[in-house]
């Protein structure tokens, strides 16, 4: 019986690392992937099929509308789904173990052999990464809130310094990680300049893979598309975060307040998305309570090549998440079209992801936002800095 997933392409590959990923180095196993019972890398776990089989309840990811399909019941009393499109699924061999080889920059080692079930160890690996355990340089990662600004006043040497906002007030404008992994914005809000806000709560870690932008919207060149993101199949650690501030509270505190507008984007992912060559639509992720969650990944394959020149050892900030709401719902909407009793848990319940095989959870995290994107003038970036 095959353990199948929906719409997931694994491509195990070796990638030449750029300046921003200079902490990757070499390891005993120079690839990531599933290991067999002897600790050897399994490379033949893929089959190509357009049929999936299930016993009992069909999981939501198998019929979430991304493919046309026909459902049968075969002679083995299995539910058989035949998709009209060709899909690639992994086929776990009998000797597959619980262990994967993953790569995590700056955590201390290049590669880790870890069980997907070992949530405590994965959690510690994430903490080791954000606190740069492997570097011994006294630096930790902090996240710059949007772009470099004029005269590089948000570059690697200055992004945690006091800055002047549009009103002339001095304030900070970055995020730091608390000792427990929570993310705090240091920069105040519309009304209080020296206030700190807890914006994301760290609840656990899982194995996921890095994602890359395959095709990007380039309005300056007349190319209006929704960015197309692909999975690389290169396994790493991802951190599950729940919102400490919901999107409506974030809008009231931060929207339209200059640099703090970025905090609203960091929660609501508010952005203009081109739907054709002549018009754009606003997408706001309607995480209207603090149960909603995402998986954050610090990605060494940032698209910010121009920005990162001279900014070594930086990492892109990516969010993977399940989202079933209307992509063009109105800001502040509470009864979001598309949210159902069936799909709501996939957006809010971390237990559907913790301790699960990465091949099974990655398809559920069907949306990707790259906070380090130039196209939206965000340019968030994880940069070596100081605590708090």
Quick one: pLDDT band at residue 23, thresholds 50, 70, 90?
very low
Q: Is the pLDDT of residue 8 over 60?
A: no
Token pair for residue 277?
A: 């060559």
**CA–CA distance, 226 with 266 (Å, rounded to integer):** 19
**CA–CA distance, 39 with 62 (Å, rounded to integer):** 31
- pLDDT tens digits, one per residue of 141-190: 999 998 755 556 678 888 899 877 666 778 899 999 999 999 999 989 98
**CA–CA distance, 89 with 49 (Å, rounded to integer):** 7
Measured from the Cβ of residue 363, the count of other Cβ atoms closer than 10 Å reads 19
Residue from 104, 122, 236 nearest 181 by CA: 122
Confirm if 352 and 108 have CB atoms less than 8 A apart. no
DSSP 131-185: TTTTT-SS-EEEEE-S---GGGTTSTTTTTS-EE-TTS-EE--EEEE-TTS-EEE
Confirm if 358 and 209 have CB atoms less than 8 A apart. yes
- pLDDT tens digits, one per residue of 69-103: 777 777 777 888 777 765 655 567 788 899 999 99
**What's 7's DSSP letter?**
S
pLDDT at res. 375: 62
- pLDDT tens digits, one per residue of 94-151: 888 999 999 999 999 889 999 999 999 999 999 999 999 989 889 999 999 987 555 5
**What average pLDDT does the chain have?**
79
Q: Is the pLDDT of residue 16 over 50?
A: no
DSSP 215-254: E--BGGGTB--PPEEEEEEEEEEEEEEEESS-HHHHHHHH
């Amino acid at each position: 019986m095959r353990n199948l997933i929906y719409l997931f392409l694994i491509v195990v590959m070796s990638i030449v690392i750029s300046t921003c990923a200079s902490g990757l180095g070499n390891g005993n196993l120079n690839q990531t992937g599933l290991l067999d019972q002897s600790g050897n890398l399994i490379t033949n776990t893929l089959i190509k099929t357009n049929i999936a089989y299930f016993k009992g309840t069909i999981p939501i990811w198998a019929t979430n509308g991304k493919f046309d399909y026909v459902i049968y019941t075969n002679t083995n009393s299995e539910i058989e789904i035949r998709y009209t499109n060709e899909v690639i699924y992994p086929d776990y061999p009998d000797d597959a173990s619980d262990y994967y080889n993953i790569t995590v920059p700056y955590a201390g080692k290049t590669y880790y052999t870890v069980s997907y079930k070992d949530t405590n160890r994965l959690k510690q690996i994430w903490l080791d990464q954000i606190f740069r355990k492997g570097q011994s340089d006294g630096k930790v990662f902090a996240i710059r809130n949007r772009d470099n600004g004029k005269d590089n006043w948000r570059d690697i040497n200055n992004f945690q310094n006091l800055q002047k906002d549009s009103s002339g007030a001095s304030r900070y404008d970055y995020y730091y990680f608390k000792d427990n992994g929570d993310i705090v914005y240091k920069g105040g809000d519309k009304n209080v300049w020296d206030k700190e806000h807890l914006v994301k709560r760290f609840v656990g870690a899982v194995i996921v893979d890095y994602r890359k932008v395959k095709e990007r919207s380039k309005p300056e060149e007349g190319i209006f598309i929704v960015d197309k993101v692909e999975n690389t199949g290169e396994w790493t650690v991802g951190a599950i975060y729940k919102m400490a501030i919901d999107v409506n509270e974030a809008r009231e505190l931060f929207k339209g307040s200059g640099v703090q507008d970025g905090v609203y984007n960091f929660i609501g992912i508010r952005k203009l998305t081109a739907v054709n060559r002549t018009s754009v639509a606003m997408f706001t992720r309607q995480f209207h309570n603090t149960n909603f969650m995402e998986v954050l990944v610090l990605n060494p394959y940032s698209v910010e090549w121009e920005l990162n020149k001279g900014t070594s050892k930086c990492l892109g900030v990516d969010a993977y998440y399940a989202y079933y709401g209307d992509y063009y719902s109105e800001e502040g909407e509470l009864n979001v079209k598309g949210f159902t009793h069936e799909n709501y848990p996939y957006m809010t319940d971390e237990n559907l992801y913790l301790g699960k095989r990465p091949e099974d959870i990655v398809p559920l995290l069907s949306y990707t936002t790259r906070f380090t994107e130039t196209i939206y003038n965000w340019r968030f970036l994880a940069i070596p800095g100081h605590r708090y």
